[in-house]
Amino acid sequence: MSSGNCLPYNISLTDQSAVVRFFPDRDGAVDDSWNTTYSDSSFSEWSYDDTFGKGVSSHRTTSVGAYILIDWAGTAVWIYGTASKGSYNVTIDQGSTVQGEGDVGGLLFSQTGLTYGLHTINLTVTGGEVSVSGAIITVGMGEPGTTLQTRNISAANSSALFDSNQYWPVNELYANQTSSYYCMTSNLLGATLSFTVSEAVGFVIYGSDDWQQGLFTVSVTSDSLGAANSVTNSTIQYSPRSLWTQLNVPKYLASGLNRSALYTVEITNLGASFNLASVLLYDSLSR
């Protein structure tokens, strides 16, 4: 697939998605890191039997120098949240730094019309309180004259499609709070989980975030020349760690794939725990 011919497709990310990366810490004290907040939950209500966040989530901080990163292959990005004018700066790739204008109707920043390709957006706090509630990214999925169809690979029903170097059992998680949330899980450092992708132009890995999880990486490779040009760097470390639990959040996404190529996807657990509930594949078919 020629990257310049990719059809634009918008993907929404809440702040709880591991694709939105927070530094120096994803969830901690508001004055020295980012803090996960839910509109209808308070810290005093949290317990091992009540970890599900209620209402709308956001990450907020007053720590000068705290920042977020989003890496994607596409042409546009919107960052949502609340902040005052001058309380943050935004940079895309190696471009000029832009002072934040403050939120307008919950929109902190937007950029459209980027050249299709890999991009990184950095939003850095410069003063005051900044809250980030999510983002929308425009990626490339399929070519002109095609329509997108999706197919879902469930960890509970399709575990035989995955290969691993360690034991990755299918467990029912959060059984004390909900039912039938089955995931492939591991808490072993260096444990890998792999699967192949074919006849697809993109995919999203879904799972939960919670206070027990840590870092992981994802590599997407192909023997076909140029087939992985739209894949983000395999050294990027993602984290789904959060005091509050949310189910079915995007942990990783790949877009702009060549439908004719075969890809190998490998997830590496870098510590603590990791879970995978499903993989959503996007296919592009002629109209």
What is the domain-level CATH number for residue 72? 2.60.120.260
Q: Is the pLDDT of residue 52 over 80?
A: yes
Same domain, 20 and 131: yes
Same domain, 79 and 35: yes
Q: Which two tokens stand for residue 246?
A: 């949310």
> What is the distance of C-alpha 287 from the center of its chain?
30
Domain closes at, from 89, 124, 141: 141
Same domain, 127 and 173: no
Same domain, 117 and 182: no
Domain closes at, from 103, 119, 141: 141
Same domain, 188 and 128: no
pLDDT tens digits, 154-202:
998 887 789 999 899 999 999 999 888 999 999 999 999 999 999 999 9
Domains identified in the chain, total number: 2
Same domain, 98 and 187: no
- Residue 165: CB atoms within 10 A of its CB come to 14
Same domain, 126 and 204: no
Same domain, 11 and 136: yes
In a domain, residue 2? The reply is no
Omega before residue 240 within 30° of 0, cis: no
Q: What is the average per-residue pLDDT within 46-55?
A: 93
pLDDT tens digits, 216-240:
999 999 999 989 999 999 999 999 9
Q: Is the pLDDT of residue 29 over 80?
A: yes
Q: Is the pLDDT of residue 2 over 80?
A: no
Same domain, 121 and 156: no
Band of residue 4 on the pLDDT scale cut at 50, 70, 90: low
Same domain, 175 and 135: no
pLDDT at 5: 78
Q: 24 — phi, psi (to 5°)?
A: -80, -25
The per-residue pLDDT of the chain, averaged, comes to 95
Burial 175-193 (b: 16+ CB within 10 A, else e): eeeeeebbbbbbeeeebbb
Q: Nearest CA to 118 among 142, 143, 137, 99? A: 137
Q: Nearest CA to 122 among 20, 2, 227, 33? A: 20
Range of the domain at 74: 7-141
Q: How far apart are CA 257 and CA 262, in angstroms?
A: 10
pLDDT at 263: 98
